[in-house]
Amino acid sequence: MLCCIFIPLFLYLVLFFGGRIITRVITFYLFVILFSLLFIFNYFLLIQSIYFNENYSIFFFNWFYINELTVSLEFLFDALSINILAIVSFISLLVHLYSFYYIIFDNHFNRFISYLSLFTFFIFILVTASNFLQLFIGWEGVGLCSYLLINFWYTRIQANKSSIKAILINRIGDIGFIIAISLIFWLFKTLDFSLLSSLVPIMYQFNPYVTIINVNIIIIDLICGFLILGIIGKSAQIGLHTWLPAAIEGPTPVSALIHAATMVTAGIFLLLRSHYFFNYSLIIQNFIIIIGIVTAVISALTALIIYDIKRIIAYSTCSQLGYIVLACGFSYYNLGFFHLINHAFFKALLFLTAGMIIHNFNNEQDIRKLYNLYFFIPFLYVCILVGNIAIIGIPFLTGYYSKDLIIELTFLINNNLFFSIYLPNYFLFSLIIFATFCTGAYSWRLYYFLFLRNEIVNLLNKLTYSQQNIFIYSVLSFLVISSIFFGYLFNDLF
């Protein structure tokens, strides 16, 4: 079972120590064997989880003892972690296959594949952690790998700046996460998730608080406040979101992996895993709702006024993450998780399709200089169309089954939250409808600029076009099918 976690690490170590002597062909066959096994193992676990509702916990050893703190190295395979393992392994498999064509002629090809594998390994460590400290190792690991991958082309000044921005902004969230972990241990004397889920309701009844500048602050609220700071940083919510659009300076497969299945997943996973804290903090729930709705609206508006194709898709990621955070703020964690999975498919599709457009047309990213692409690559026309209508939430595509429920939720919700007391019931609904309208507007704008303008195609762009590789068609076809049918097939599970 641990093969589900350590296969990517094994591939990384092989390429790290033997990358200078291993050829690209050997790398390809080694990857196909290992990641095919990874995919099979993870989906076998997923099937067991769905049909037999089986959860597993694998204990390695007690890691260390410090006074009252005992931390064990233990891997937890419950429904949440198994689902994320399955989706991450699927997206990672497709991104690796895509990379074999996209960056095959780069002199540092093996280094790139090794970084992608290490990235996948750390997200596996994060989602299978049984305690906060083990989760923090994976948390820091994905941050480190994002720096290495964004700065892969380290001779480019803008890539240097973007990678530094990503790691520095994430440090702000990491500080909040470290403080939250310290407070959790101080109050509960444990960092284990299973124990905390039982202790938090009991501790809430005693209502422990600390006094800061003559103000009594409930400790659970304080813990949730620092946890949400870490989540805002890692999942690019408003205020700490600027690193995510800047991350497009890395190779396009990196952008697809960060935006669909790794970095942004880490923050949402922490929100889902520690939900028993947030359920007892009404103030932080209100704050989560505010952050989610503001992120969804502001990011969608920003995507309307920029012309870089990858940056438009990056801001759409921020906006969709706002929807997910909003659903979690209302304590509908299953719905937020469902939209996270759905979003992974069509966001990976959009990024990888954008990468092929850029790759084949002289590395041009300005949509004002890209037009009539339908006549050169009709298949990419289909991919952009499916990705756009899925992210808009057109009925019966994957995005519809989760996004429509989140919009409906904002209209029907009626509880003791701040908005229900001081603002009209339709206030949140109006904002989310406006964000949805902006999503449709920037999606249609992107589609129009790329395919519907009738202008004479630049000769240079025409000359740099090349035929597509079978890997590209296969990867994009899988994502197109998933973006159409996944929501319909699996909506009953959430």
What's the whole-number mean pLDDT along residues 78-102?
Answer: 89
Give me the residue label for tokens 């101080």.
186
Question: What is the percent of the chain with per-residue pLDDT over 90, rounded to a whole number?
Answer: 42
The string of DSSP codes covering 265-291 is HHHHHHHHHTHHHHTT-HHHHHHHHHH
pLDDT, residue 292, reads: 93
Q: Say what the pTM is.
A: 0.92
Q: Which residues contact 155 (CB under 8 A, 6 or more apart)?
A: none
Residue 144 corresponds to which tokens in the numbers above?
């480190």
Q: What's the CA gap between 199 and 188, in Å, rounded?
A: 7
pLDDT, residue 459, reads: 41
Reported as type and span, the H/E element at residue 69 is strand 69-77
**226 vs 153: which has the higher pLDDT:** 226
At 164-194, the pLDDT tens digits run 999 999 999 999 999 999 999 998 888 999 8
Highest mean pLDDT among 16-20, 46-50, 131-135: 131-135
Residue 152 corresponds to which tokens in the numbers above?
């892969």
Integer-rounded Cα radius of gyration of the chain? 22
Least confidently predicted of 47-51, 164-168, 341-345: 47-51
The string of DSSP codes covering 9-26 is HHHHHHHHHHTTTS-HHH
Q: What's the CA gap between 340 and 136, in Å, rounded?
A: 21
Residue 458 clears pLDDT 60, i.e. is over it: no
- Confidence band, pLDDT 50/70/90 cuts, at residue 406: very high
pLDDT, residue 418, reads: 53
Residue 460 clears pLDDT 50, i.e. is over it: no
Residue 300 clears pLDDT 80, i.e. is over it: yes
Mean pLDDT of the chain, nearest integer:
86
Reported as type and span, the H/E element at residue 70 is strand 69-77
- Confidence band, pLDDT 50/70/90 cuts, at residue 461: very low
The CA–CA distances, whole Å, from 203 to 186, 188, 215, 493 equal 13, 8, 20, 32
Residue 467 clears pLDDT 60, i.e. is over it: no
Q: Which residues contact 45 (CB under 8 A, 6 or more apart)?
A: 1, 4, 77, 82, 85, 86
386 within 8 A of 483, measured Cβ to Cβ:
yes
What's the whole-number mean pLDDT along residues 115-137?
Answer: 92
Q: What is the pairing mode between strands 209-212 and 69-77?
A: unpaired
E strand residue ranges, 363-462: none
- Confidence band, pLDDT 50/70/90 cuts, at residue 1: low
- Confidence band, pLDDT 50/70/90 cuts, at residue 341: very high
pLDDT, residue 422, reads: 56
pLDDT, residue 337, reads: 93
pLDDT, residue 463, reads: 42
pLDDT, residue 419, reads: 53
φ, ψ of residue 337 in degrees (nearest 5): -65, -40
Q: What is the pairing mode between strands 215-218 and 209-212?
A: antiparallel
Q: At what angle do helices 470-490 and 79-102 cross, to 10 degrees?
A: 160
Residue 469 clears pLDDT 80, i.e. is over it: no
At 254-269, the pLDDT tens digits run 888 888 877 888 899 9
